[in-house]
Amino acid sequence: MAETNNSMVMEFILLGFSDLPSLQGFLFGIFLIIYISILVGNGLIIIITKVTAALQTPMYFFLGNFAFLEICYTSVTIPRMLSDLWTQKKNISLIACAVQLGFFLSIGGTESFFLAVMSYDRYVAICKPLYYPLIMNPKKCNQLVTGAWVIGIPIQVAQTCQLFSLSFCGSNKLNHVFCDIPPILKLACGDTSLNELSVFCGAMIFVTSPALLILWSYINIIKTILMLPSAMGRRKAFSTCSSHLIVVGLFYGSAFIAYFRPKSSHSPEVDKVLALFYTIVTPLFNPLIYSLRNRDVIAAIKQLIPK
């Protein structure tokens, strides 16, 4: 590896939290606890949606798959962060960085579409209740899950290949906690305007499009709920959607801020905080949000614990 302006970079150095040398051990412990909590919390959601007879519905089928998706999402970044904090060996090859970024983008795109699928499920359940069993049949549910998983892979892999086809020269210090597009672009040589346009288009496809579908779904859901004659019926309908809305707000709120804010306002510190928010905080709180606000899930957990 060389670090001069006339040589090509063969690996990056993930700076991470190197500006906090006295807190490396503390941060390792915090992230380890968070990762274990994510695995346990989402793993519990997967188990109860599989073994509890009362939860064998499309809504909980999607929730179980979403919990598995969250485990995959965090496993792309946190183990590497833990390794860097423990060993203090922060170098990562270009190939390893490209692999991490490819998985991160693909799974992130899947999560975005998965939230849209879950909002569509709530739309059909509330706005078309008589047709719900017919529309959300097992075959349709499997098709929606498969589509959410595979729809973004070709585009995100192509975007990753396009990014790493650039030349990297000069500094090889990647001022981030994992391999992400904005900090990598800062280290690229030459004109990156085409790559920036590609990133913007990708964000429009994988963030804005599902967000608009979710918005359309909930506009119709709210209209239908407000037309219900019973206050108890309105309250019950809102309660089935509130958990999903909170998760949507956490994920899309941080994603919009991270990828659509002006370039002049970007700073490594803010980028790190936002990255930690949508890769760690959201998956950590998802099991709590869905369990504490859902009586069926709480009842299933109480039945499972004695066993």
CATH no. for residue 69? 1.20.1070.10
User: Model confidence over 191-233: pLDDT tens digits?
Assistant: 788 888 888 888 788 888 888 898 898 888 888 888 877 776 6
For residue 196, is it within any domain? Answer: yes
Range of the domain at 248: 11-304
**How confident is the model over 14-41, as a mean pLDDT?**
87
User: Using CA atoms, how far apart are residues 18 and 15, in angstroms rounded to an integer?
Assistant: 5
For residue 48, is it within any domain? Answer: yes
User: Using CA atoms, how far apart are residues 250 and 115, in angstroms rounded to an integer?
Assistant: 11
3-state secondary structure (DSSP) of residue 18: coil
**How confident is the model over 267-284, as a mean pLDDT?**
78
3-state secondary structure (DSSP) of residue 11: strand
On the question of pLDDT at 7 being above 70, the answer is no
Whether residue 191 contacts residue 213, with contact meaning beta carbons closer than 8 Å, is answered with no
Q: How many domains does the chain have?
A: 1
For residue 45, is it within any domain? Answer: yes
For residue 118, is it within any domain? Answer: yes
User: Using CA atoms, how far apart are residues 192 and 231, in angstroms rounded to an integer?
Assistant: 55
Residue, of 291 and 220, whose pLDDT is higher: 220
Share of the chain above pLDDT 90, in %: 20
Contacts of 196 (CB under 8 A, 6+ apart): 185
User: Using CA atoms, how far apart are residues 258 and 254, in angstroms rounded to an integer?
Assistant: 6
Helix or strand holding residue 91 (H, E): strand 91-93
Residue 159: name the closest of 120, 111, 109 by CA: 109
pTM, two decimal places? 0.85
For residue 6, is it within any domain? Answer: no
User: What is the average pLDDT score of the chain?
Assistant: 82
User: Using CA atoms, how far apart are residues 222 and 261, in angstroms rounded to an integer?
Assistant: 29
Which tokens in the block code for residue 278? 């949508």
For residue 3, is it within any domain? Answer: no
On the question of pLDDT at 3 being above 70, the answer is no
For residue 2, is it within any domain? Answer: no
* Confidence label for 34 from pLDDT (cuts 50, 70 and 90): very high
Whether residue 172 contacts residue 1, with contact meaning beta carbons closer than 8 Å, is answered with yes
User: Model confidence over 241-262: pLDDT tens digits?
Assistant: 777 777 787 777 777 776 666 6
